[in-house]
Structure formats: C-alpha cells, structure tokens
Amino acid sequence: MTQQTFLMNHKVGKLLSNIKKVIIGKDEVAKLSVVALLAKGHVLLEDVPGVGKTMLVRALAKSLSCDFTRIQFTPDLLPSDVTGVSIYNPKELQFEFRPGPILGNIVLADEINRTSPKTQSALLEGMEEKSITVDGTSIPLNKPFFVMATQNPIEYEGTYPLPEAQLDRFLLKLNMGYPSQLEEIEMLKRTSGTHPIDSIEAIMEKEELIELQQQVDDIFINESIQRYIVDIVSGTREHAKVFLGASPRASIALMKAAKAYALIQDRDYVVPDDVKYLAPFVLSHRLILTSEGKFEGKSERAIVEEVLAQVKVPIDRGVQ
C-alpha cells in the first residue's frame, strides 16, 4: 500500500468516525453508505420516521466539503422543482436557467415516496446518466454526485411505491432499525445540550473524494469472482418464488460495491466474502416475488440468502 493510499484510507476512517458522533449504534449502515458513495452509487434508506435517516445524510454531507442540497418530497412537488426551470429575464431579453436542488453534490431526497411517480422519475435520469434534460437541453451534473433518498414503509398512509425502474437505480437499500435501550440512553445524553451535528467539521475535500472514487475503479477483481457475481444474480432469476429477478445492472452494482468495500477494508483486491456480504443489500430491492412467494411470507432478503447458500464460492482469494 502506498503512502498516499494509506492517507486516503485514513480519511475514510475519519469520515466514519464523524458519522458515529451523530448516529449511535448504526456502524454498518454508516459504512455501507460510504461504500455506495465511493462506488459512485446511490442509497435508499427505508424505515419508520424518527430513527435518524435524515440525520445520517446530514452527518455525511457535513463531513465532506461538497455542495449539499435537500429535496423535501411532498404530494404537490413538480418535476421542475427537482431539476430547475428556465425563467424569462425581461432586462436581458432571454431565458435564464435557475438550477434545481439536483445540481448539488450530495443530494438528500427526503421521503421520496410521498410524492407522485411523475416527480419521482425526475431523479431517474440524473441518477443513471449523471445529467438532466431541461427544455430539450442536456445539463451535466456536478462531480461527485450522490443521492441518498429516505422513504417511509409503503404500508404508511400517503405513500407511493417507487417504480421498479427507479429502485434499480439505487446501489444499496438499507434499513436503520430502532436503537437498543443503551444506545437510546446515550443518544439522550449527547443531545441534551448542543446537537452533535453542529460540531461536525468537514474532513475531506471534493477533490479527495473524487480521487478515492478513482481508486475504487482500480481495485482488482478476479475473473472467478466476476463469475461468482453473475452466478448469484442469475440464481435470483431462476428462483421458483421470484417473478422478476435482478438485472445485469445488478451484476455491475454488486461488483462496484465489492470493489469499494475492499478499499475500505484496506485491500486492493476483492475477495468472495465481500460479494457474499454485500449481495443482500444490493439485490433484495431489485426482486419481485411471485404471488405464491408473497403468500408464503417470503422476503426478498431471504431469497437472496437462499441463492447465496446454493451458489458455489470460488476457492481462490481473488489476489492478482
């Protein structure tokens, strides 16, 4: 490992420590969020209100010297409220583009499933193509570009399920869960005065984050592990209780996530355990179960676990 790589990984450790100051007992969620950020992917956080979803995104954004924007999704939100709009300037006798919040670096899409599918789809092009189209003109998004969306469970009143096409754009889907009693007591102690989020300072510049993302691209992945990824994804399509399995985009997502996770683990190569650990977070939200599977009470995560148990793990460690 070079000295420069060591210093950059040290920055990742400090980034995670910053988040832990605010989010107590959710180390795995914090680490996986950073994995998605380094892999140039996006995260969907689903859980009940009040468990810290928005605070996690704020802590991550404050730790980075990047432009942070927030979109509060409501039933009356319009697509132009997300992308921006061209307004006529009578003095200049021309239209001027007023950029929307999607033009930030770290974008919080809060309660994304409280708005209509039409407005939800306004994020779709930006998340996949890294550009938006306004009045027929393509506008590239800033680098880095990272969307962290929160949503309440779809059983809650006033929510709209995300379409499959948009779910497929999220690299990972995570759940916060309730804290333990000890963690909740610690939370009360930390927030009895000034909130910890107010004391967080940026520890990573925009250019350093982009450099880390480039390092992820250079992480080595053995062909046998690539085959392992494809076998897992193919297994979801062939499962008897799955109506629609994971797409080829899921294979790419799993590979990118595994490379980012390897970097966080101070390795320059992917091992099979990286893939096995990340598969439920990458694949579960991309599956649609059959009516029989739903009737039996099967969960998407349980299906992925079954597939992982059936697919043969490569023997080699993935080293070059």
Q: Which pLDDT belongs to residue 150?
A: 86
Q: How far apart are CA 244 and CA 236, in angstroms?
A: 8
- Domain 3-211: assigned CATH number: 3.40.50.300
SS3 at position 23: coil
99 bridge partner residues: 84
Which range of 87-91, 155-159, 245-249 scores highest in mean pLDDT? It is 245-249
Q: Is the dihedral of CA 313, 315, 317, 320 positive or negative?
A: negative
- How big is the CA angle at 175 (ends 169 and 180), to the nearest 5 degrees? 165
- The CA-based diameter of the chain, rounded to the nearest angstrom, is 70
Domain residue limits, the chain: 3-211, 219-310
DSSP states along 172-212: EEE---PPPHHHHHHHHHHTSSS-GGGG----EEHHHHHHH
Q: Which pLDDT belongs to residue 191?
A: 81
Q: How far apart are CA 186 and CA 315, in angstroms?
A: 43
* Interval 208-230 mean pLDDT: 94
Closest by CA to 175, choosing from 204, 151, 203, is 151
Asked whether residue 125 carries a pLDDT value surpassing 60, the answer given is yes
Q: Which pLDDT belongs to residue 5?
A: 53
Question: What tens digit of pLDDT does each residue of 166-180 get?
Answer: 888 899 999 888 888
Q: Model confidence at 157, in pLDDT bands (50, 70, 90)?
A: low
| Whether the Cβ atoms of residue 206 and residue 296 lie closer than 8 Å to each other | no
Q: How far apart are CA 11 and CA 223, in angstroms?
A: 30
**Class of the CATH domain delimited by 219-310:** mainly alpha
- Token code pair at residue 96: 């001027």
Burial (0-12, 13-18, 19+ Cβ within 10 Å), 217 = exposed
- Token code pair at residue 97: 């583009």
The phi and psi torsions of 144 (rounded to 5 degrees) equal -70, 165
Of the chain, the percentage scoring pLDDT greater than 90 comes to 35
The contacts found for 85-94 with CB under 8 angstroms, 24 or more apart, are 85/134, 86/134, 86/135
Q: Using only C-alpha atoms, what is the Rg of the chain?
A: 20
For the beta carbon of residue 220, count every other beta carbon within 10 angstroms.
Answer: 14
Beta strand 64-65 with 204-205 is parallel
Residue at 126: amino acid letter: G
58-72, 205-219, 239-253, 277-291: segment of lowest average pLDDT? 58-72
Asked whether residue 6 carries a pLDDT value surpassing 50, the answer given is no
